[in-house]
Chain A
Amino acid sequence: DAKTTQPPSMDCAEGRAANLPCNHSTISGNEYVYWYRQIHSQGPQYIIHGLKNNETNEMASLIITEDRKSSTLILPHATLRDTAVYYCIVRPPGSRLTFGKGITLSVRP
């Protein structure tokens, strides 16, 4: 079973920041938080991952709380192409990915 909890859906306006929450209250000390997204009919696309420090790359920022029990993925300027299902995954080092149902982000014009 997935070790994360995400709301089923959210929307945001194009050009605004999209903040996608994820709860992982049972995360272990060596488990990383990964975010993937999946656009219809495509495979999951890796976005970002982190252990305990906040991370940023060209796609997004990942904010992990100090107790590591929750995190937020931030898309700073959402576009229509960011409409997708976003998966938050907690993963022990070197193991499989266990996907939940994810959160459906709808970006409106």
Chain B
Amino acid sequence: SYVLTQPPSVSVAPGKTAKITCGGDNVGTKSVHWYQQRPGQAPILVIYYDSDRPSGIPERFSGSNSGNTATLTISRVEAGDEADYYCQVRDSSSDHRVFGGGTKLTVL
């Protein structure tokens, strides 16, 4: 089955840029979606189809996907961005959905 790999943790100072990666075999040929999950809350979609933002998500959140790595970029990081972030794809061969292991973003 398809596997997505994320770093367990990323730390960034307020106002700086955070990059969270999501690695997978030829993930650039798939559509990657990103979710933010704060403690005790359900996940929310922050990026879909690699780089689109749902309404209500700040422009500071952006995404890219190429080769074997998809990246979620959060610019001008704020304390409120501290959360767990998950990438997700649809494995077209099985129609199964796959999540990455998640990355805890810490704002220093």
A binds B: no
